Structure 1
Amino acid sequence: MTSKNNKRKTILMVAFHYPPCQSAGTHRTEKFAQYLTDFGWDVVVLTVQKNMFPQQTDKGYQEKAVHVERTGVFDAAKKLSIKGKYLGITCVPDRWWSWAFTAIPAGKKLIDDFKPDVIWSTYPISTSHYIAYKLHKQSGIPWIADYRDPLQCRYDPDATKYSGVSKYIEKLTIENCKKAVFTTGNARSLYQALYPEQAAEKFEVIENGYDEEKFSSLEQVKTNVSSVFTLLHSGDIYGLSRNPRNVMCSLALLKDENIINRENFKIVFRGVSDSTALVEMANELNISELVDVLPVISYRDSLIEMLNANALLLLQGELFNNQVPSKLYDYIRARKPVVANTPSNSATADIINTLDNAFSGIDIETLKAAIVSVIDLNAAKDQSSKVDITRFSRHTKSIELASLLDTVVS
């Protein structure tokens, strides 16, 4: 696939998170930038200096963009703090608002030098959209605004104190962009309802996905695979939105029924930033011997761990009904049974329902049954799937973006 009339075109991508940043949000921009070059597009990236990323990838990144411009920025939460404390208003709309002062003039020069056909920017850094808005208004170049998540104050009641500026930037974005792209149908519906005066076709969906390149090099990698059935949760847990309590209660019931014990089962929580509450919960429910809480590891090692687990656990509470955690796509590619603690009306459940060997639920009894199901699958040695998962790959999602770009600039 190439752009229409086979003439290469240029996209200017405005993205705070970009390699070598290790944030999960990096992968969407990274793979779009890589694969679009195969579909008739030259990619120019406007991002921040590398030293802004305390956690960086442990492997070298093969740059596919024709040019990457990195400009200065400071973290307002640190720069404007006094004795480690700062006023919330100094981080409005986000901690990185200073980026606009260097990125906008740099973006103007990139436009002069590379003459892009389209501008693309990505949230959850509102400043990225503001930069793209200014570049769009000054140049007239069509703009696609990518929302990896809805604006935080659209779903989190605790995120309303300084949401006025963020909502204003969102309004500028939706009114001025050619297309607004979301990662779930639920999020698209939310924004169609928030902006009914905008044409429904302005709002598009391009899901997140898995990176086949990262997995294909790991298929034969084996660690010390445990003989004990391992249910793995990869990544942090926090608050009411990703609370493992019902899962832990279901394990307590299974232990009481002598279905699981420390000789045949363990649940692993990998990369929990604050393990105290989790350990206390395990002690309270008398299942501490079934629970392992392990430190953060590299993204590559986390994929290896998924490939070696017996089943994978996802926590996605009601607060995030319009969102799908990006690691679900890694779970899908790992081709392991999945237990998702999520409401039936969530975007996450919508995907789970299309998969083989994947189970979702929110209450203790449903989760208990789901865990028994994945244990039985493992015992039967039957985890084969008839579902074509390639539709969830980053490569496929880049084809979707390339098609959308063609419609915008044709």
Structure 2
Amino acid sequence: MSTTKVLIITYYWPPAGGPGVQRWLKFVKYLPDFDVEPIVYIPENPSYPLLDEKLLSDVSDKTVILKNKIFEPYALASFLSKNKTKKLGAGIITQKKKQSFIEKAMLWIRGNVFIPDARVFWVKPSVKYLKKYIQENNIETIITSGPPHSLHLIGLDLKKQLNINWIADFRDPWTTIGYHKELKLSKWARAKHKALEKEVLTTCDTILVTSPTTKVEFECLTNQPIEVITNGYDVEKIEKKSLDEAFTLAHIGSFLSERNPQILWESLSELINENEEFANYFELKLIGAVSKEVIQSISDYKLDSFVQNLGYVSHEEAIMHQRSSQVLLLIEIDSEATKCIIPGKLFEYMVSERPILAIGPKNSDFENIINQTNTGVFYQYNEKYELKSQILSYFNQYLDKNLKVNAVGLQQYSRKSLTEKLAKTISKFNGKTKG
């Protein structure tokens, strides 16, 4: 069987850390198993907010990597405040605290000048570089992955100039993503974002999304085929650790202000005051960046002495904590816009063999996955009594040394199974070069 060459255009790539890098790192790892040769195009000098050098070992030395310099305005802004500039790219948009003049100005510029985002200056040099490479190497299909959604503009221009097969992958939505409303967009900028989004959705040949809700949203904007390929879990060769001796509830990943679950802190505070045994065994593990607002809420409920705040750790270490913690916390913002968000860590949680305690908006896509796979329980932000009862139930199971889950149907979410689905999508273009 002949091998198909596919050019993948992505911003996040090792040594980038965080969730954005995992999806295409794993697709590239397994695509050769399905007769697809991935060629990866990335920035030569990116500005990654998080680094995880260990992920470099997941990149095959046989993978063809193309690099081209990128100009990022955030680097210029660093003279104002290195800390604030870094935070702008790592979640300041979703923070509730009062913003300084500089932060407000940076948000306004981010939303109204850099459309669709601050990587837009990479579009023209990338199109020039890739057009030549595609023609010289007989590339039939390209894939762009966003955010940053400016990468889809690279695909848009290449499609117009070469009429090449183009798959647009949306890890998150564009104009309905949760933080978009915080960008202080002018009427003109809002219209520009929507126009670009629609042009991408109607010009590409196939759209990939990570959730059913995003598919429904995009179906209102385009008649192009849309496929749901979620994120997933990989087989991790990591040393097995014994379970924590304490009754640990662990949250792994960014804990932003709008994810601040008051019902959880209140429930834990009441259980500590009402149940001496619970107070003796309970521990809250926070692994990843945690906002000041979340830390303050924990303090307000007098939970400080029960917290182990480990900060950002490598992906490998995060997996170890997932497998050793007693219960895993999954918190999503209580908003209509976040119903489509399926956190990437959900799938790694699901294969950790530890129960998931999730809080989020009603009818969330990730609620359905948790229920279908029997990997945990889900509560809305108005279900405090039920949440508290469930925590106590988990604690009693822990005391009885019987705290476990019986997951079902997980194989469909393995990275290799998902890559096979992607390969079938790519194969539809075989022999259909349009240039």
Query: TM-score under structure 1 normalisation?
Result: 0.89
C-alpha distance in 2 between matches for 1:267 and 1:333: 21
Q: Counterpart of 1:302 in 2: which secondary structure?
A: helix
Q: What is residue 331 of structure 1 aligned with on the other side?
A: 349
1:46-57 → structure 2 map (5 Å cutoff): 46-50=41-45, 52-53=47-48, 55-57=50-52
- Which amino acid is the alignment partner of residue 31 of structure 1? K
1:355 deviation in Å?
2.5
Structure 1: 4+ residue segments shifted above 4 A: none
SS in 2 for 1:408: coil
* CA displacement at 1:263 relative to structure 2: 1.6
Deviation at 1:112, TM superposition (A): 1.6
**Which of residues 371, 381, 386 in structure 2 aligns to 1:353?**
371
Return the offset for 1:178: 1.0
1:125 pairs, out of 129, 148, 151, with: 148
Instruction: Tell me if structure 2 keeps the 8 A contact 1:252–1:287.
Output: yes
Pick from 350, 355, 370: which aligns with 2:390? 370
Aligned to 1:174: 201
The alpha-carbon deviation at position 382 of structure 1 amounts to: 4.8
Letter in 1 for 2:272: K
Alpha-carbon distance in structure 2 between the residues aligned to 1:50 and 1:369: 50
Offset of residue 218 of structure 1: 1.1
Q: Match of 2:265?
A: 248
Q: Give the Cα–Cα distance (whole angstroms) in 1 for the partners of residues 390 and 368 of structure 2.
A: 16
The 8 Å contact of residues 271 and 296 in structure 1, kept in 2 or not, is answered as yes
SS at structure 1 position matched to 2:42:
strand
Q: Give the C-alpha shift of residue 113 in structure 1.
A: 2.4
> 2:406 — aligned with what?
385
- Quick one: distance in 2 between partners of 1:318 and 1:99? 34
Tell me if the contact between 2:250 and 2:328 (Cα under 8 Å) persists in the aligned partners.
yes
| Deviation per residue, 1:218-239 (Å, 9 max, x gap) | 14245xx542110100112113
1:25 aligns with 2:20: yes
- CA shift, 1:24, in A, is 1.3
**After superposition, what is the alpha-carbon deviation per residue over 1:355-405, rounded to whole angstroms, capped at 9, x for unaligned?**
224001022112212222332343342524251312111111101101111
Give the equivalent residue in structure 2 for 1:400: 421
Q: How far is 1:299 from its partner? A: 1.3
State whether structure 2 residue 18 is matched by structure 1 residue 10: no
- Paired with 1:384 and 1:270, the residues of 2 have a C-alpha distance of 22
Determine if the alignment matches structure 1 residue 272 to structure 2 residue 289: yes
Q: Does 1:296 align with 2:296?
A: no
Moved more, 102-111 or 278-287: 278-287
Residues in 2 aligned to 1:398 and 1:357: alpha-carbon distance in whole angstroms:
23
Asked whether the 8 Å contact 2:29–2:60 carries over to 1, the reply is: yes
Q: Is the 8 A contact 1:357 1:383 kept in 2?
A: no
- How many Å apart are 1:334 and its aligned residue? 1.1
Conserved? CA contact 1:142–1:409, under 8 Å = no
Q: What residue identity is the alignment partner of 1:220? A: K
Quick one: distance in 1 between partners of 2:325 and 2:310? Answer: 14
Letter in structure 2 aligned against 1:349: E
Counterpart in 2 of 1:237? 255
Q: Which moved more, 1:148-157 or 1:42-51?
A: 148-157
CA distance in 1, matches of 2:293, 2:192: 34
Closer/same/farther in 2, CA of residues 259 and 182 from structure 1, 3 Å limit? farther
Residues 105-124 of structure 1: pairs in structure 2 closer than 5 A: 105-124=128-147
Q: Given the superposition, is the C-alpha separation of residues 158 and 55 from structure 1 closer, same or farther in structure 2, using an over 3 Å criterion?
A: closer
Query: Which aligned pairs between 1:183-332 and structure 2 lie closer than 5 A?
Result: 183-193=210-220, 195=221, 198-199=222-223, 202-212=225-235, 215=236, 217-221=237-241, 226-240=244-258, 242-258=259-275, 261-274=278-291, 276-319=292-335, 320-332=338-350
Q: State the 1:40 CA deviation.
A: 0.8
Alpha-carbon contact 2:117-2:149 (below 8 Å) kept: yes
Q: Please identify, of 360-369 and 43-52, the stretch whose mean Cα deviation from structure 2 is larger.
A: 43-52
TM-score (norm 2): 0.84
Cα offset, 1:81, TM superposition: 6.7
Kindly provide the amino acid, as one letter, of the partner of residue 249 in structure 1.
E
Contact 2:16–2:50 under 8 Å retained in 1: yes
Between stretches 302-311 and 276-285, larger displacement belongs to 276-285
Q: CA deviation at 1:66?
A: 4.3
Question: Does the 8 Å CA contact 1:153/1:159 hold for their aligned counterparts?
Answer: no
5+ residue gaps, structure 2? 82-101
Contact 1:18–1:30 (CA under 8 A) maintained in structure 2: yes
> Tell me, what secondary structure is at the counterpart of 1:385?
coil
Task: Give the residue type in structure 1 aligned to 2:282.
Answer: F
Distance change in 2, residues 1:180/1:372 (3 Å): same
Q: CA RMSD in A?
A: 2.2
CA contact (8 A) 1:129 1:169 kept: no
- Paired AA for residue 371 in structure 2: N
Equivalence for 1:78: 75
Per-residue CA distance 1:323-357 (angstroms, 9 max, x = gap): 11101111112121000011331111111111224
Q: Do the aligned residues in 2 keep the contact of 1:357 with 1:374 (CA within 8 Å)?
A: no
- 1: CA distance, partners of 2:46 / 2:359: 37
Q: Which residue of 2 aligns with 1:158?
A: 182
